[in-house]
Structure 1
């Protein structure tokens, strides 16, 4: 029974991170921490890395703390919340950095309907170079209209 509970905590956290990502992207990255996210909305000229990459560190801190407190004094639910955050971060890296932005040249010719819709939605998000008037702030959830375009 304990294994099922830990799986459900991990899976629930992973799914919940899509909401956290949407809210953080809209109200933090396009809000008071725009100065870290702004270069992500500009054409890439300078280097492989962006100031926006600091958000990977910012999101990793709660996961690391939950891992630590999830094994001290013994294994508990916090470990599995940290695991859900970590797995979402890994999915985010693959989907956002590799599949969408092609920072590592892989999956460039994928014709999967979901991936095509995901790329369209993200393109719409990036058509705005400023922090206002943004749309499509999530990562894994893609509104149906982007599959019809």
Structure 2
């Protein structure tokens, strides 16, 4: 993104995307793909075959047969064998895509994230900052 020779392909073979020139790679096809946010080794896969995802490089949870929907109807995402739950560090947070009371915690704090722009709050350090997607009520 910053002109340091990163390349991105769509066939899932060795594509690389860097945000700050630190060489983190991201793949699309669920075969050992790797995505780093801050230089840690978090893995994220789309294919549902033994992919692991870590946010702080400490825990990797195997997902088997998870599926995600965008309209918030019947999506299941299995990180630790529980439907509709996603745990990043062993906490039981749930995540939905329709913006109704979903919770996602990165480090055990309770940050809320909604996609429909209705008074959603998203905190990364538990300090209650507000973020909306339709420009209403953001602080």
Determine which structure has more spread, i.e. the larger CA radius of gyration.
Answer: 1
TM exceeding 0.5: no
Q: Give the number of the structure whose residues are more often helix, by fraction.
A: 1
**TM-score, normalised to structure 1's length?**
0.21
